[in-house]
Chain A
């Protein structure tokens, strides 16, 4: 079954240089369609830089990356249209209401008014948000904001959604509810590309890559990684890898 899986992200020798500093040193990997791919690494390992190239907002110095069938360098506009993106730092406008945010983000992805209306209804039913469409996003608890931001990133039904530390700072229950949303989306066939500092979340991924100093040091299923390093948790895998390099 593995062999016939369609590859939705193909990265070959991807490199990014800033002056004399190489942030990403010729990484190669692929992501299968519909999988939850964990992209881990220490602060400053080059995760964010690599992710920025994959979502088409930063040009690679060398190498190629194909996302959803488009080249990130030459077809970045097509790439952007086919992906969703949610980051911990920016997700939605705090001073706009829930409805206004949805309308705005639907609008920039070219959804019609009718589509936006049905999407809003779906979303509210799915997240059990009740009657908060007129509440300003800034007044919502962080957990709700993040769930909402995730749904908004999916408004235009992208093939891949990139999540940059989506669960930072939320309570353990909300964090798990968030992952249930991710599973549900993954079951619909959407590919999930996610970064996190919570190592237990790494266990929830189909496959995990660990980046150290601009290089992917390990890439496999959590189970195989644990076997490979002869440890019991992803946290230990991570500590072992990063320690060895230092």
Chain B
């Protein structure tokens, strides 16, 4: 077991940041913590990297106890904090060399681990970090977190504020790292990234709502979702919300995702209702649920 968390609770002055959290991460697993800002993801990362002490519960990382074996844990984990921004006045090469030395290693020693990430930014290695784009900074930060060949990698919202292209590349890099046997615990507010993890924990307001593989979570979802589209999408939300048996209505890309309260729901009733409201080009189809649908219904 690479990470094992048992009944962890953490309270700040007035806020209960984490409530009785329990989960396990296997060796070599890519595990996602999915939840919005303020869900408690960062607190959990800090507890596991020994930066905070829990009020209750226990946890082990790489088989070391987070309460008692602080030194061992600090030697065997890589951590990329959420607001981590590297040293802006140092170049790429200097940043990397610095993190290598403080972890008692050299860039050369573990170069094979970071190679395919580092080659992408190497052409700019003498540029100051402050002058890099978000995607490049993120790659450099990942290199810095990996330079000492950690057994477990903690990535706190590595893709927040990063454009879709760089995000996609980043997840491909994580997949390759996973193949090299590194356990990765990653958090993200982007629901679409959840499906890229082996297993995920949906977390909100300090509680874990569900843990399973993304597929299993979606499969276990029982309600039927209909995607609805008409020629007046803005009006459609308001009208669907007025529909007597509506359970939930959410915009979902170019469609509305509509869920009805009744199992006996007939799409024709809805079609007639929308028609009466003046909508045209009405299309109503069954949709496959996504992690985001599940999350919103928790």
Residues of A within 8 A of B (CB): 41-45, 88, 141-143, 165, 168-174, 176, 179-180, 183, 186-187, 197-200, 203-204, 222-223, 233-235, 238-239, 242-243
Contact = CB atoms under 8 A, between A and B. Distances in A.
B240 to A, nearest CB: 12
B269 interface: no
28 contacts: A41-B163, A42-B164, A43-B133, A43-B134, A143-B36, A165-B161, A168-B161, A170-B37, A170-B189, A171-B36, A171-B39, A172-B36, A172-B250, A172-B292, A172-B295, A172-B296, A173-B296, A176-B250, A176-B251, A180-B251, A183-B234, A187-B234, A200-B253, A203-B253, A234-B253, A235-B164, A239-B165, A242-B163
Contacts of B166: 42-43
Interface of B: 35-39, 133-135, 157, 160-166, 168, 189-192, 204, 233-234, 237, 250-254, 292, 295-296
B184 to A, nearest CB: 21
A43 B37 contact: no
A243 B165 contact: yes
Contact of A197 (B133, B162, B253): B162
Nearest to B159: A197
A76 to B, nearest CB: 27
Contacts of A44: 133-135
A11 B292 CA distance: 37
Contact of A168 (B133, B160, B164, B250): B160
B134 A204 contact: no
Given A171-B35, A203-B254, 4 more contacts: A171-B295, A172-B292, A173-B250, A174-B36
Nearest to A170: B36
A199 B164 contact: yes
Q: Is the interface of A mostly helix, strand, loop or mixed?
A: helix
Q: Is the interface of B mostly helix, strand, loop or mixed?
A: mixed
A143 B39 CA distance: 12
Contacts of B192: 235
A197 B292 CA distance: 16
Q: Which 10 A-B pairs have the closest CB atoms?
A: A171-B36, A44-B133, A43-B134, A42-B163, A169-B37, A203-B253, A242-B165, A183-B234, A200-B253, A203-B254
Contact of B135 (A42, A142, A203, A233): A42
Contacts of B189: 168-171
A41 B35 CA distance: 25
Nearest to A223: B254
A45 B134 CA distance: 11
A55 B220 CA distance: 48
Given A142-B37, A169-B189, A187-B234, A197 B161 contact: yes
Nearest to A199: B164
Contacts of A243: 165
A169 B190 CA distance: 8
A186 B233 CA distance: 12
A180 B35 CA distance: 21
B161 A233 contact: no
Contacts of B163: 41-43, 45, 197, 242
Contacts of A176: 250-251
A200 B237 contact: no
Contacts of A187: 234
A238 B196 CA distance: 19
A168 B189 CA distance: 9
Contacts of B162: 43, 197
A197 B164 contact: yes
Which of A176, A187, A238 gathers most chain B CB within 10 Å? A176
Contacts of B164: 42, 197, 199, 235, 238-239, 242
A88 B161 CA distance: 10
Contact of A200 (B38, B204, B252): B252
